[in-house]
Amino acid sequence: MINIIKTLSPENVANIIQYLEENIEPNLGTDVSNYAPSRRRSWFPYEAPLSEVQDYKLGFQDNRIWDYITGLCSTFSWEPDLGLVSKGGTIKPHRDAAYADFRSVGINLGNVTWCYSRAYPMYNWVPEDQQINPPEVTKIQMTGGEVFEFNCKNLHWTEDVDPDRWAFNLWRVSNKGRSKFESFLNQTNLLTNKE
């Protein structure tokens, strides 16, 4: 299931992009994921572990953009724990790692064909015999401003990505990763309070 929740105005999109290019672009790094080799990105405010043996880390800190994101998400009663801001780069078919809960939110700020293969029917795990077979493949042309939700455990990818396209991907931490995340937050708060 992919659902466009709302669409930001062109003026709002232009203002966000201007801010990102002036304040965030200098802090972007090359993506380490093998499914997004040409994407430039930065985690904020925390970086998620891409494997079970890795730990959470502090990400890029920008209260203005994070406050905007959390305020926008509050308009549809959803609160992200962490996010990824990226520019350009095609993303190959993949499912998000174990840190991510099923429901994910994307904010698209440019031209892209966003692709989705729906096997899990809702925002939860189901046994293989209850999955949609064959999966329903959807390709949506997005032009900028789309705020959408999807099940990130279904395969998803991009095609025809404008090299200047910005995007936010936002997650709640999964039940499986929650205790590790909360331990990290507690440790981070202890260190912050000592300073």
**Mind listing the pLDDT tens digit for each residue in 5-31?**
999 999 999 999 999 999 999 999 988
Rounded to two decimals, the pTM is: 0.93
> What SS3 state is found at 88?
coil
Kindly give, in sequence order, each residue whose CB lies less than 8 Å from that of residue 3, ignoring residues fewer than 6 positions away. 148, 149, 150
The pLDDT tens digits of the residues spanning 89-128 come to 999 999 999 999 999 999 999 999 999 999 999 999 999 9
**pLDDT for the residue numbered 88:** 94
Tokens of 158: 């991009």
Q: In order of start, what are the domains of the chain with their CATH numbers? A: 2-194 (2.60.120.590)
CA 26/CA 194 separation, integer angstroms? 30
pLDDT value at residue 35: 86
Q: How many CB atoms lie within 10 A of CB 6?
A: 12
What digits encode the pLDDT tens for the residues 41-61? 999 999 999 888 889 999 999
**At 32, is the pLDDT very low, low, confident or very high (cuts 50, 70, 90)?**
confident
Predicted local confidence at residue 30, as pLDDT = 86
138-161 pLDDT tens trace: 999 999 999 999 999 999 999 999
Give the pLDDT band (50/70/90) at residue 195. very low
Q: Are strands 2-7 and 46-47 parallel, antiparallel or unpaired?
A: unpaired
Give 71's contacts (C-beta < 8 A, 6+ positions apart): none
SS3 112: strand
pLDDT at 193: 53
Q: What's the confidence (pLDDT) of residue 148?
A: 98
Phi, psi of 181 (to 5 degrees): -65, -45
What average pLDDT is seen over the chain?
Answer: 93
Q: What percentage of the chain exceeds 70 in pLDDT?
A: 97
**Tell me, what's the pLDDT at 190?**
62
- E-only strand ranges, the chain: 2-7, 29-30, 40-44, 46-47, 57-58, 82-87, 100-109, 112-118, 136-142, 146-151, 155-159, 166-173
